[in-house]
Amino acid sequence: MCFRSSQIPGMLIAMFALLGSLSLFSSPMMAQDMAALLDEPGTVLITGSSRGIGFELSKQYAVRKWKVIATCRTPSESDALVRLSEKYPNVIVEEMDVTDIGEIEALAKKYADTAIDVLINNAGIFGAVKLQKLDELDYKTFVDVMAVNTFGPLKVSQAFANNIAASEEKKIITITSGLGSMTLTEEAMQGYYFYRASKAGVNIISRTLSADLRDEGILVGLFNPGIVDTGFGGTNYDGPKLSPEEAAAALIGFIETLSPETAATMINYDGVPMPW
């Protein structure tokens, strides 16, 4: 049976350290075995892996020696992701458009016998800002934004729920946004109708998933990366931004510490819970 450090109580780790001082655990080989026991990599599935936070997540998990199932809409056009998979054999690039139910179900069938420790619903779009102003609302854009940001995470989570339940970590994470909060001031609520609605929608979906999957031991997390320097959204924001590397590292830290107390709560990149 395999365990990870996050699943071994501190007292047990201390006991291993004490035993390590005895001759039974004194050989270099035994020390290496214990290190492997306490740091076994898992499997992560990441949507929207071809660029931005998704690509950086794939890279950072690859370096950690996790098995990375990196999905994107068009692998043939994702040169950086393909090169990453060539450098790290533990990265597997798969085609999956999160708005295509057939592709989602086909990939879930392909990995039916694979336990997936962490599912990260990262794929997202902002939609053209000018088409989200009250006097220019374009409802086709509304459908497109909702399909990627709200319907997609629900379908992907549903399709891979059994894989998550069969794993050790049992975590589903969805990227959200402070723009989906209903506690913002009236001034801060102006514009961005479609994107706001999509993130508010995925927030309530995640809370509902958390309730439905509680008996399976699955934790559902909501993470707000803040403003990240990826060009996402095109809102002409010129304030401070996180780099993709910083945002991905913060997200991985959030995933590692996710607990029943912080599940189904929007957590900011700095670890602070956000009202929504």
Over its C-alpha atoms, the chain yields an Rg (Å, rounded) of 20
pLDDT score of 18 more than 60: no
Contacts 24+ apart (CB under 8 A), 231-240: 232/52, 232/124, 232/126, 233/126, 233/129, 233/195, 234/126, 234/128, 234/129, 235/126, 235/129, 235/192
Four-CA torsion 199, 202, 204, 208, nearest 10 degrees: -170
Extract the tokens encoding 219: 């934790």
What's the half-sphere exposure (Cβ side, CA atoms, 13 Å) at 230?
Answer: 22
pLDDT per residue as tens digits for the range 69-119: 999 999 999 999 999 999 999 999 999 999 999 999 999 999 999 999 999
Considering only 15-19, 185-189, 210-214, 262-266, which range has the smallest mean pLDDT?
A: 15-19
pLDDT per residue as tens digits for the range 112-142: 999 999 999 999 999 999 999 999 999 999 9
Q: Of 54, 134, 129, 126, which Cα lies nearest the Cα of 94?
A: 54
pLDDT, average across residues 206-222? 98
Q: Which domains are seen in the chain, by residue range?
A: 1-40 (no CATH), 42-268 (3.40.50.720)
Q: Of 250, 266, 267, 248, which Cα lies nearest the Cα of 53?
A: 248
